[in-house]
Amino acid sequence: MAVDLVMAPAAASARAAASIVVEAADLAIAFESGGQRTTALEGVSLAINRGSFVSLIGPSGCGKTTLLRAIADLEQPTSGRLTVNGMSPERARLERAYGYVFQAPALYPWRSVERNVMLPLEIMGMAAAERRQRAARYLDLVGLGEFRRRFPWQLSGGMQQRVSIARALSFEPALLLMDEPFGALDEITRDGLNLHLHQLWRSTGMTAVFVTHSIPEAVYLSTRIVVMSPRPGKVVEVIDVDLAAERDLDIRESPAFLRVAHRVREALRAGHSYD
Amino acid sequence: MIRRAAPLLSVFALLLVVWYVAAVWLNLDLARTLADDDATPRQIWLATLAQDRPLLPAPHQIIVEMWTSIFDHPVTSAKSLVLHAAVTAYAAALGLAIALVLGIVLAVGIVHVRTLDRSLMLWIIASQTVPILAIAPMVVVVLGNAGLTGVLPKALIAGYLSFFPIATGMVKGLRSPDPMQRDLMRTYSASGVQVFARLRWPASMAFLFPALKVAATLALVGAIVAELPTGAQAGLGARLLSGSYYGQTLQIWAALFMASLLALLAVALVDLLQLGLVRQRGGRL
Amino acid sequence: MSAGVALLLLAIFGPLGLALLSRGEGWAARVATPLLFGAMVLAAWQIVCVGFGVPSILLPAPSQIVVAFGTHLSTLGVDFVQTVLRAVLPGWAIGSAAGLLAALLLDRSAFLRRGVLPLGSLVSAMPVVGIAPIMVMWFGFDWQSKAAVVVVMTFFPMLVNALAGLESTGAMERDLMRSYGARDWQTMLKLRLPNALPFVFTALKLNSTLALIGGIVAEFFGTPIVGMGFRISTEVARMNLDVVWAEIVMAALVGSLSFAALALIERAVTFWHPSFRE
């Protein structure tokens, strides 16, 4: 059974609190617009362990992006408790505890690739030499070292998204938050980036929270999958992915992989995602 | 509604306050010299807002001036602001009509005839960087020498100014359908006329209306400036000029306000036309 | 008679040449076609004026205008200094800078912005040149009053455009800065100002034309005996149309050259904008 889905928050903190990076207890988020109140999230309790790769999956409107944005202090919870590294999301944000990768690369077109990666480092007040070094290191890591003098719009969509990942990694956050980062890319590019991201996560040992609506992507990348359902957004089930730690793309045709994928689909169905 | 009106009203109120303070401050010297020797400071303060030829008239003075020059004189009188506004508006409207016809015809030509496109487009774009208004006095005088007087020279200048935004807007608009939409027409083997009537023309409306708003304002400016060089007897430009000669500040401000009202009216009229079309199209242009 | 034949030939072979030339691809044909068209217009103008003896108080021939440009060069120079360098340029710079500054201040308050923005578009729709007589009354006949007209004319287009530019930042880009815990001034400096630059340049270009119009038209309301607008209005009255045309040619040159200069700077500064990418 999932260890990191904790219904009683008190019990959670009793457990090895140090190993828990993100913890939500009975979290609810509602939006007010034009006098109408929409509940985006309701009764979400969840803990994410250090070093794990957790995917949030569900149909549109299930609140998976809202949950990620709340962790990043980009949305405010209406009720419930949410901590990141044992701090409030706001403190965590101000202490630069996480890197965020958006659905689109969101690169600044007036900055070269290298200077885009250096942007957070400038804001955090890092010395110029260190900035250049970091940018070089992480651009190499995503395999774009030779493109550092180019401008974002001279790169393909997949390359742009890799730059934005390098940018999120450049200040070496303990937590990487990704909101459907490959959603706008074609499937072949996406496969390549999935492999790339998996290796990156393996080599850095960071904690990752990944929003997606692709079942194979979630199974391939994750150690745990949180299945969510819409109206209002809720956690239906948390599924452990008991595949080998080291994965290549071929694993997606293995029976073990398909079994997990099937469980995810069943959970989605149970959450009325196909209605 | 209140959310939108509150900021606007506050800024408007602030503007009025600033205006009154500025009026007192600017007219203080004038009020002092014109006041009786035994005038109290209070009388002088009040006098700053009631000068005949103030450096800056107070808002209420302008409104009173507009009221009297609109309602206290018959429309045919030279003192009637309505007459002057109508003279200018007539020239501007006539010019706008000319520009609308010519601009659309030329845009259609440019979009369909490559030679016209290549020969003219550069000049049309370049002409927008040139202070065309500078030729207004000459056009008026030259046409006057050639025996053309009255509304026509003014309308020509107004039309000349408003022609360019309409032509460029329509060229853009007629070219706005994307390749997929044009390919669709090709698959129907539609004729040029059909493509124009069913695709290009409807698509261009989203560009025509914004251009028309700009053009209407320019036509008004053109008509006003065209009234300056000949010492025209009627029109808002004539009011501005004679006010300027005789130091009649109230007259200048009233004419200026009237011109602004006309501009707003013109833009509102275009908006109204646009609204009609938008309704027909289910809420979007 | 020979003028009629020349005009006829021009009317037949000119369009033919244009049609042939416009078939060509490449930039040479693209540049040559409008130039040929311009040359044809000038030629027709010259033929009509000289050949049919059009009096120069109606329309001087292009050759007469060129000659007038040469003989009145010193006058043109003095007028250029008075109108362009003293009134238009400072007015444009001050008005645009003030508009930008006001936009940065208004950006701090959503309330004020919602109040001022409709006002700004209102003023943009008004015939602002009409304030020229008032400015003459306030600042005197010399260049100061013209500069003031230009300041007022250029202020609002910059304000409205710069505000739109500052608002145009995408939600994702702003969230990114927020996720870095960036301070307001950092977001302004690193994201919102660079992002607003294309809008600022649009206003600067628009303002360069507006400023020239304002400077010239304001002089129709009275100046010391110098300036482009003054020269145009007085020489028109004295029927010296060749001088008037020379002034107009100069105004056109100043207008298009300053626009072109701004466009070049814009291209260099906002090379990353989609409209300039190759």
Q: Which of B41, B56, B71 is the last residue of a domain?
A: B56
* Banded pLDDT at A145 (limits 50, 70, 90): confident
- Chains C, B in contact: 3+ Cβ pairs under 8 A? yes
pLDDT for B2 equals 65
* Banded pLDDT at B246 (limits 50, 70, 90): confident
Q: With 50 as the cut, is the pLDDT of residue A12 above it? A: no
Looking at chain C from residue 29 to 58, which residues have their Cβ under 8 Å from any Cβ of chain B?
A: 29-30, 33-34, 36-38, 57-58
- Chain C residues touching residue B131 (CB < 8 angstroms): 209, 212-213, 216, 251-252, 255
Residue B40 lies in a domain: yes
Q: With 90 as the cut, is the pLDDT of residue C89 above it? A: yes
Tokens 């298009």 label which residue?
C256
pLDDT for C25 equals 78
Share of chain C above pLDDT 70, in %: 99
Share of chain B above pLDDT 90, in %: 17
Q: With 80 as the cut, is the pLDDT of residue A4 above it? A: no
C-beta neighbour count of B70 within 10 angstroms: 16
Burial class (CB in 10 A: 0-12, 13-18, 19+), A66: buried
- Report the distance separating Cα A76 and Cα C174, nearest Å: 16
B25 and B145, same domain (yes or no): no
- Chain A residues touching residue C185 (CB < 8 angstroms): none
* 3-class DSSP assignment, residue C244: helix
- Chain C residues touching residue A109 (CB < 8 angstroms): 272-274
Q: Does the beta-carbon distance from A120 to C180 stay under 8 Å?
A: yes
Shortest distance between the Cα of B85 and any Cα of chain C, in A, equals 13
Rg (CA), chain B: 24
pLDDT for A273 equals 66
B187 and B260, same domain (yes or no): yes
- Report the distance separating Cα C132 and Cα B221, nearest Å: 13
* Banded pLDDT at A2 (limits 50, 70, 90): very low
* C172 part of contact set with chain A, CB < 8 Å: yes
Residue B285 lies in a domain: no
B258 and B178, same domain (yes or no): yes
Of A98, A106, A153, the CB nearest to C173: A106
* 3-class DSSP assignment, residue A41: strand
C-alpha distances out from residue B37 to B44, B86, B250, Å: 11, 45, 26
Q: With 60 as the cut, is the pLDDT of residue A14 above it? A: no
- Report the distance separating Cα B163 and Cα B206, nearest Å: 17
pLDDT for A11 equals 46
Q: With 80 as the cut, is the pLDDT of residue A178 above it? A: yes
Of A106, A119, A151, the CB nearest to C190: A119
Mean pLDDT of chain C, nearest integer: 87
pLDDT per residue over C174-229, tens digit each?
Answer: 989 988 888 889 999 999 999 999 999 999 999 998 899 889 888 887 777 888 98
pLDDT per residue over C107-152, tens digit each?
Answer: 888 888 888 888 887 777 778 888 888 888 888 888 888 999 999 9
Q: With 80 as the cut, is the pLDDT of residue C50 above it? A: yes
- Report the distance separating Cα B200 and Cα B184, nearest Å: 13
B188 and B140, same domain (yes or no): yes
pLDDT per residue over B57-84, tens digit each?
Answer: 888 888 888 888 888 877 777 778 888 8
B12 and B142, same domain (yes or no): no
Q: Which helix (H) or strand (E) holds B204?
A: helix B201-226
Q: Which long-range contacts (CB under 8 A, 24 or more apart) does B101-106 make?
A: B102/B159, B102/B163, B102/B167, B103/B162, B103/B163, B103/B164, B103/B166, B103/B167, B103/B170, B103/B215, B104/B166, B104/B170, B106/B167
Q: Does the beta-carbon distance from C272 to A153 stay under 8 Å?
A: yes
- Chain C residues touching residue B7 (CB < 8 angstroms): 111-115
Q: Which of B56, B73, B91 is the last residue of a domain?
A: B56
Residue B75 lies in a domain: no
Q: Which of C194 and C30 is assigned the larger pLDDT? A: C194
C-alpha distances out from residue C24 to A33, A266, C20, C34, Å: 57, 64, 7, 13
pLDDT for B215 equals 92
Q: Does the beta-carbon distance from A98 to C179 stay under 8 Å?
A: yes
Q: Does the beta-carbon distance from C259 to B123 stay under 8 Å?
A: no
Residue B70 lies in a domain: no
Instruction: Find which of A2-16, A46-60, C18-32 is predicted with most confidence, using mean pLDDT.
Output: A46-60
Residue range B260-280: average pLDDT? 88
Q: Which of B56, B73, B101 is the last residue of a domain?
A: B56
* C170 part of contact set with chain B, CB < 8 Å: no
B128-137, B198-207, C157-166, C191-200: segment of lowest average pLDDT: B128-137
Looking at chain B from residue 99 to 158, which residues have their Cβ under 8 Å from any Cβ of chain C?
A: 114-115, 117-123, 126, 128-131, 133-135, 137-138, 141-142, 145-146
Q: Does the beta-carbon distance from A123 to C173 stay under 8 Å?
A: no
Q: Does the beta-carbon distance from B130 to C252 stay under 8 Å?
A: yes
Under the phi-then-psi rule, with left for phi > 0, alpha for psi from -120 to 50, and beta for the rest, what region is C181?
Answer: left
Share of chain B above pLDDT 70, in %: 97
Q: Which of A13 and B268 is assigned the larger pLDDT? A: B268
Q: Does the beta-carbon distance from A124 to C180 stay under 8 Å?
A: yes
Q: Does the beta-carbon distance from C172 to A98 stay under 8 Å?
A: no
Q: With 80 as the cut, is the pLDDT of residue B86 above it? A: yes
Chains A, C: CB pairs < 8 Å? 56
pLDDT for C199 equals 92
pLDDT for A6 equals 42
pLDDT for A10 equals 46
B27 and B96, same domain (yes or no): no
Both structure tokens of C87: 């009134």
pLDDT per residue over B139-183, tens digit each?
Answer: 888 888 777 777 888 899 899 889 989 999 999 999 988 887 787
Shortest distance between the Cα of A136 and any Cα of chain C, in A, equals 20
* Banded pLDDT at A96 (limits 50, 70, 90): confident
* Banded pLDDT at A189 (limits 50, 70, 90): confident
pLDDT for B232 equals 65
Q: With 50 as the cut, is the pLDDT of residue A83 above it? A: yes
B145 and B275, same domain (yes or no): yes
**The total number of structural domains that make up chain B:** 2
Decide: A116 and A193 in contact? Cβ < 8 Å: no
Residue range B175-200: average pLDDT? 81
Decide: C156 and C106 in contact? Cβ < 8 Å: no
pLDDT per residue over B100-147, tens digit each?
Answer: 999 999 999 999 888 888 888 888 888 888 888 888 888 888 888 777
B23 and B85, same domain (yes or no): no
B244 and B148, same domain (yes or no): yes
Share of chain C above pLDDT 90, in %: 26
B141 and B269, same domain (yes or no): yes
Domain that holds residue B47: 2-56
A205-209, B246-250, C161-165: segment of lowest average pLDDT: B246-250
**Treating both helix axes as pointing N-terminal to C-terminal, what angle do A128-141 and A113-123 enclose, rounded to 10 degrees?**
130
pLDDT for B102 equals 94
B22 and B125, same domain (yes or no): no
B11 and B103, same domain (yes or no): no
- Chain B residues touching residue C213 (CB < 8 angstroms): 131, 133-134
Nearest Cα to A144, choosing from A176, A178, A112, A120?
Answer: A112
- Mode of pairing for the β-strands spanning A98-101 and A175-179: parallel
CATH number of the domain that residue B147 is part of = 1.10.3720.10
